[in-house]
Each structure stands twice: as C-alpha cells, then as structure tokens.
Amino acid sequence: MSEFGLTHPGFQFRILATDLSNTVLKKAALGIYSDEAVRPVASDLRKKYFMRSRDRNSNLLRVVPELRQLVEFRRLNFKDVDYGMTENADMIFCRNVVIYFDRATQEQILQKLIQQLAPGG
C-alpha cells in the first residue's frame, strides 16, 4: 500500500492488526523478522522497507519505523459482543481464523465484520 501511495497522491492508509493473544501482538509490534521469512519480498522492497540488525552475525530484519507507525496492534476476541472498533474499515482480512469456529459462530462473526465495513468496503 505504501508503494501504491507513491503513485497516487493523497492516498493514505492505516492498518489495524488484531489477535486474541497479547503475546503474539507484542511480538508482531516489534516488526522483527528472520531473513528467511522476508526472502519472498522483492529485493528492492526489502532494501526499502527493512533494516538489518546492527549485529552483522544476526539474520534479523526490522520493518522501517515509517511503516511500523502505520500499524496499530490490538487484542480482539471474535466472541466478544462488541469489537470496539470506532472507525469503519475499507477492507477486512481474516486469515485462517474463522475456520476454527462452527458455522453459526462463523456467520455471527462475519455479520459483525460486515457492520464494521465502510460503505462500498
């Protein structure tokens, strides 16, 4: 999305990243990845959006601060009555999470998420 913004003046974005686990959220907020995990990213984008560790023996990379500041990490339990989202989203991605619930719960979750979408989202 950052790359898209370079060619589309006025385009802005923020990402709300959620998980049930506070431990996972704390780790994700650090924005630190192994070289192996980042390898699929095109080399020009890796150079632009990741910083190498100061420790030359380390294989860790960190997302640059400019991108990290665009991501908010928040705990979310899909079984909660209210998801606590105050702004509507243009897009919602649920990766490998809804599959763990029974059909009735899946429908409830998706209905709540639909309510969180901006018009046309």
Q: Where are the domains of the chain?
A: 21-74
CB atoms within 10 A of CB 113: 17
Per-residue confidence (pLDDT) for residue 66, from 0 to 100: 95
* CB of 109 closer than 8 Å to CB of 101: yes
Block mean pLDDT (10 aa), the chain, length 121? 94 94 96 95 96 90 96 94 89 90 94 94 93
Q: Please enumerate in sequence order all residues whose Cβ is within 8 A of that of 72, keeping only pairs 6 or more positions apart, or say none.
A: 14, 15, 16, 17
Alpha helices in 31-74 (DSSP H): 35-38, 43-49, 65-68
* Eight-state DSSP code of residue 98: G
Q: pLDDT digits over 67-83, tens only? A: 999 999 999 999 998 88
